[in-house]
Structure 1
Amino acid sequence: METSHTHRPNRREARRQDRHDAILAIASRSFLEKGYAGTSMSAVAAEVGGSKATLWNYFPSKEDLFSAVIDRAASDFRARLAALLEPEGDLGTTLRRFAASFLEKVTSSQAIALHRLVVGEVLRFPEVGRIFFERAPRQMQALLAAFLESAMDRGLLLRDDPLLAARTLVGLCTTGCHQQLLLRIIDEATPEMIEADADRAVMLFQRAYRVDQG
């Protein structure tokens, strides 16, 4: 008879995970404060308290380290959005919840700093833009596209390219306070601003993709 059990990490595995998390926390702060060019593997290793060779055992290159930082920042957010996108829920309500949650995330101080970092470094380091897009916007858009395709299948939205529809909604969300934050026109996005931007984005999106009942 087969039995199953949950694997519990031993002390060595736990220490390795702790060191992995510490490296990512330090690297994340360094990237945001010093930029991609200003962050060195040697400096991260020194702050963690180990050799550069030890750091390489976890992340073979600065590109790998940056990728892991983006993955950590994006994964929890994708899980939260996936929970919000209820296929059988009211479409308008679900879209508003998505839009508000998305805007809360991308207007946070850390997200704005990361966005500025990517835009500022991408000319010198094209890999920065590629890594960011592949691990954050692209995966989030794919998640939203799958939900919108389901809504199209149910006849709730006009049939169109689901990924294009997802990009349309995301674009509508980011034309207000998010854009103003990036350009330093405002210092913070208030809950009222986020709610207003989310409501308007969803209203315009539904107007564009509304099914003709006539």
Structure 2
Amino acid sequence: MGDEARAGEGPDPEGPTARRMRRADRRAQILDAATRAFARTGFAATGLDQIAAEAAITRVLLYRHFDSKADLYAAVLDRACRRLEGSVGSDDFDEQAIPALLQAAAADPDAFRLLFRHAAREPEFRGRMDGLAAGSVDIARRNLAAMIPDGAWLDWAARLIPTLTIEAVIAWLDAGQPDPDRAADRISRAVHGVIDAASSPTRPGRNEGQVHI
């Protein structure tokens, strides 16, 4: 395992400050700590010693739950995906989808940023994130088909809207979560702007390639 090889068993693998916990609770604690650490410095720059320190446990104890850093990172992503699907659903976009997405992001900003901003940049996990993105496009296309005629502009909107929505939520997090009661409406208006652009014919008098302000 190289620098991620198992450390030797010490006399107190729980560490001097760690309290004994049920296995499931300890695993959740490690996942919470790993989410924070990975969101700060990324996969490559984050060591297991840093994660163990974040969780206030020893590296030995961490290895009782996860075999490697990659195993831990994959578990963090899997949990983030499950929680997001539980909050937002996995098939339909309706008027509750964006509020639910914002609520999920606000509940765990580190996991949201890790899932949608950082994980796609990690070569080991790019395939997993590409699959998630492709699934989002398929769902968007199916839901938009009733509003936008079949063709290139439907494909354009189906590819743009998931990216726009996620980036809008991340920008909202980065801005300090302003106006939380109306944030979903603001993002929804941006999404509907894409739908209007894709479904409406070009207005008379506008020439292709000419920019109008």
State the Cα RMSD in Å: 4.1
Matched, 1:172 2:164: yes
- Give CA deviations for 1:36-93 in whole Å, capped at 9, x if unaligned: 34532234346453453x533432221221121122122111232227827xxxxxxx
Relative to structure 1, is the Cα distance of residues 160 and 97 closer, same or farther in structure 2, using a 3 angstrom cutoff? farther
1:1-214 pair list within 5 angstroms: 15-45=22-52, 47=55, 49-52=57-60, 54-82=61-89, 85=92, 94=94, 96-106=95-105, 109-110=109-110, 114=114, 118=118, 122=121, 126-127=122-123, 131=125, 134-135=128-129, 138-139=131-132, 142-143=135-136, 145-146=138-139, 148-149=141-142, 152=145, 155-160=146-151, 165-173=157-165, 178-179=170-171, 182=174, 186-191=175-180, 192-209=182-199
Structure 1 regions of 5+ residues with no counterpart?
Answer: 1-13, 87-93
Identity %, equivalent residues: 20
Q: 1:207 to 1:164 in 2, by over 3 A?
A: closer
The answer to whether the 8 A contact 1:158-1:209 is kept is yes
Give the helix-richer structure, 1 or 2: 1
Residue 26 of structure 1 and its aligned partner are, at CA, apart by: 2.0
Contact 1:168–1:205 at 8 Å: present in 2 too?
no
* Aligned-residue offset at 1:151: 5.8
TM-score normalised by the chain length of structure 2: 0.59
Aligned length: 177
Which of structures 1 and 2 has the larger relative contact order (alpha carbons within 8 angstroms, sep 6+)?
A: 1
- The Cα of 1:201 is off from its aligned counterpart by 0.9
TM-score scaled by length of structure 1:
0.59
Task: Name stretches of at least 5 consecutive residues in structure 2 with no aligned partner.
Answer: 1-20, 202-213
Code of the residue aligned with 2:192 in structure 1: it is V
Contact 1:24 1:65 survives alignment (8 Å): yes
Structure 1 residues 57 and 113: alpha-carbon distance in aligned structure 2, compared to 1, 3 A threshold? same
CA apart distance, 1:147? 5.9
Instruction: Note if contact 2:48-2:59 (Cα within 8 Å) is conserved in structure 1.
Output: no
Does structure 2 conserve the Cα–Cα contact (< 8 Å) formed by 1:103 and 1:194? yes
Q: Deviations over 1:13-37 (max 9, x none)?
A: x933233222212212222345434
Q: Which of these two proteins has the greater Rg computed from alpha carbons?
A: 2
